[in-house]
Amino acid sequence: MSTFSRVVILFILAVITILIAIILGDYGPWYLAWLLGTGFMILVAAMGGVLFEDQDSELIQREGFDEAPKDES
């Protein structure tokens, strides 16, 4: 992709963004905060899941278990 086409695409995106900001008016900051907050909370939840799985696998390795203990009733 040439430099000129990138500049044109970015210019079009800037115009669309400005038009959306004009249409939203006073609600723009609220929607921005909502989008950023929602995205941040999704990332925090995903990070928590990854850390939980990592701690669980580390515990299994440390204890020497190949799998979770089975109920022998």
Specify if 70 maps to a domain: no
Q: Is the pLDDT of residue 71 over 80?
A: no
Residues in the chain, overall count: 73
d(CA 37, CA 41): 6
Estimate to the nearest angstrom the gap between the alpha carbon of 27 and the chain centroid. 23
> How many domains in the chain?
1
| Residue 72, in any domain of the structure | no
Could you report the per-residue pLDDT of 34-62, keeping only the tens digit for each?
888 999 999 999 999 999 999 988 888 88
User: To 5 degrees, how large is the angle CA 18–CA 21–CA 27?
Assistant: 175
**Structural domain includes residue 69:** no
Dist CA 55 CA 57 (whole Å): 6
- pTM here is 0.49
- With a CB cutoff of 8 Å and minimum separation 6, the contacts of 21 are 28
Residue 11: inside a domain: yes
Range of the domain at 9: 3-63
